Amino acid sequence: MRGILVKKGLWPKWLLHALLSTFWWGIWGFVVKLGSDKISPRQMQILFMVGMVPLVLATLVRLSFRVDMDRLGITYGVLNGVFTTLGLLAYYAAMQRGPASLVGPVTALFPLVTVVLAFVLLHERINKVQMAGVVLALLSIFILSM
């Protein structure tokens, strides 16, 4: 199927990959919801790490095991791991308590916080499209929290 679509030139390869990314992340939310009634957030995160091992190994192979050693870069990467974990634990707790059809779209709004943090701390500009998104995001959170 995949081969046919790409060979005939119907879809560029990157589009197929982008859609597959969307597909797997969508499945992920459902899988977490399925497990959340029996598995505690901490257990879920331990198993999540096990499931991430193939991706990390594949990445190490792609890097030929030469990982960049810049000290500040390492700090941000490790902080990323700690904050991703904290976010995931909260996400699992949310999935235990609410419907996946609401927790999924609300938690996907995390770029809202990134954009605001980048604006405040890095003085990055928020473009008009993003600004409209920020307003809609706040409105949707308000509506869904009622």
Partner 1 sequence: MADWVTYSLLAILFWGFVGLFQKLGASRISADSLLVWLMVGFLLTLPYLLATGNVFSLSSRDIFIGVLGGITNGLGSWFLFAALENGAKASVAIPLTALYPLLTILLAVMFLAEKLTRLQWVGIGLAIIAGVLISYDTAAIAASDGQ
Tokens of 10: 């119907």
Residue 79 and residue 19 in contact, taking contact as beta carbons nearer than 8 Å? no
The per-type count for the chain, helices as H runs and strands as E runs, is: 7, 0
Contact 45, 85 (CB under 8 A): yes
Does the footprint of partner 1 cover residue 10 (CB under 8 A)? Answer: no
Question: Does position 19 bind partner 1 by CB under 8 A?
Answer: yes
Footprint (CB under 8 A) of partner 1, residues 32-61:
32-35, 38-40, 42-56, 58-60
Residue 41 Cβ vs partner 1, minimum distance, rounded to whole Å: 8
C-alpha torsion angle, residues 138, 97, 48, 63 (rounded to 10): 0
Interface residue with partner 1, options 2, 10, 11, 24 (CB under 8 A): 24
- Interaction with partner 1 in 81-100: which residues (CB under 8 A)? 81-88, 90-91, 93-95, 97-100
Residue 102 engages partner 1 in binding (rule: CB under 8 A) = yes
- Looking at residues 59 to 78 of the shown chain, list those that interact with partner 1 (rule: CB under 8 A): 59-60, 62-63, 67-68, 70, 72-74, 76-78
Within residues 107-146, the interface with partner 1 by CB under 8 A covers 107-118, 121-122, 124-125, 127, 129-130, 132-137, 139-141, 143-146
User: Could you tell me which residues come within 8 angstroms of residue 105 by beta carbon, excluding any fewer than 6 positions away?
Assistant: 140
Minimum Å distance from CB 10 to partner 1?
Answer: 15
Separation CA 45–CA 85 (nearest Å): 7
Distance CA 109, CA 107 (A): 5
